Amino acid sequence: MALTDPTDPKNAPLDAGPITDYGVRHVAIIMDGNGRWAKNKGWPRLAGHRRGAERIKEITRVAPDYGVTHLTVYAFSTENWKRSTEEVLGLMGIFSRYIEKEADALSSLGVRMRFIGSRGRLDGRLSKLMTSIEERTQHNSRLTMTVAINYGGRHELMRAGAQLAKDYAAGLISEEDLLSEAALADRLDTAGLPDPDLVIRTSGETRTSNFLAWQAAYAEYEFTETLWPDFTPARLEEILAGFGNRDRRFGGVKL
């Protein structure tokens, strides 16, 4: 009978804590480059998206081993509706299958799933799957995994601002609260989540494409040439290890 190897991360108990803590709590990722990856191989764009979905599964499993407690990934932006119907429907199918296939594993891995973005335009079945996995995993705390689907930072800020105005008009908040950062942050889709410490964008593009406009105001950014379907746990670990050398000042002065 094969003995269980206690040094193999796969066999670590769920409450074992990180193997190497790099001090980065919240990592956000703009998963870009699926289309180019597929094109380089002469394959349809959707093949790149399918491989991209596999990558996120691996990253979710290793993130807690590196001390990450929150992982937020950009899967579909409010601007991505401009793509062909075939690509949009294909992506929505990948999201549904991802949730269906991952639900049991994520629950048992201690992952809490959350979705940000607006649900109105999404297919009813996908939207139901999203709500059901959020409910099912709400008491998990090892890793909070947030997936941004039909998400745009500006749209989120507009919705939060409108809600704030409504609450003020209804007398639910004072004039002082109306002008507080916390009151706005509480009305964002990310309410209750810490701000990201590090935002990674793959594929060599050096823009933020409307991701976490408010929340990433003081995040560190890492832009890597790696295309998302080639992004491995080892690449994540390298980036996290480099984070420790950064001097985060938050506008102050370090003596």
The site for ligand IPE (CB under 6 A) is made up of 30-36, 74-77, 80, 91, 203, 205, 207, 209
Q: How far is the CB of 54 from ligand IPE (least distance, A)?
A: 13
Q: Which amino acid is at 217?
A: A
Among 26-34, 89-97, 172-180, 183-191, which window interacts with Mg ion (CB under 5 A)?
26-34
- The answer to whether residues 24 and 197 touch, using CB atoms and an 8 Å cutoff, is yes
H runs (alpha helix) in 109-216: 124-136, 153-169, 175-178, 181-185
Structure tokens at 40: 């380089």
Shortest Cβ distance from residue 32 to Mg ion (Å)? 4
Pick between residue 22 and residue 228 the one whose CB is nearest to ligand IPE.
228
DSSP 30-93: E---HHHHHHHTT--HHHHHHHHHHHHHHHHHHGGGGT--EEEEEEEETTGGGS-HHHHHHHHH
Interacting residue with Mg ion among 27, 32, 117, 210 (CB under 5 A): 32
By annotation, the residues acting in catalysis are: 32, 80
Is residue 228 a contact residue for Mg ion (CB under 5 A)? no
Interface with Mg ion (CB under 5 A), residue total: 1
Report, in Å, the least distance between residue 117 CB and ligand IPE: 10
Q: Tell me which residue of 131, 145, 64 sits closest to 96, measured CA to CA.
A: 131
In angstroms, what CA-CA distances link 117 with 58, 154, 190, 199?
A: 23, 11, 9, 18
Torsion angle, CA of 241/242/247/248, rounded to 10 degrees? -70
Q: Judged by CB, which is closer to Mg ion: 32, or 197?
A: 32
The answer to whether 222 contacts Mg ion (rule: CB under 5 A) is no
**Does 156 contact Mg ion by CB under 5 A?**
no
CB of 140 to ligand IPE, least distance (A): 24
Q: Choose among ligand IPE, Mg ion, none what residue 190 binds, the Cβ cut-off being 5 to 8 Å by kind.
A: none
| Options 11-19, 25-33, 180-188, 241-249: segment touching Mg ion (CB under 5 A) | 25-33
Here the tokens at position 215 are 């929340």
Closer residue to Mg ion (CB): 25 or 83: 83
User: Is residue 30 involved in binding Mg ion (CB under 5 A)?
Assistant: no
In which order are the strands placed within the sheet that holds 70-77? 111-116, 143-151, 70-77, 26-30, 198-201, 220-223
| Least distance in angstroms from the C-beta of 80 to Mg ion | 9
Binding site for Mg ion (CB under 5 A): 32
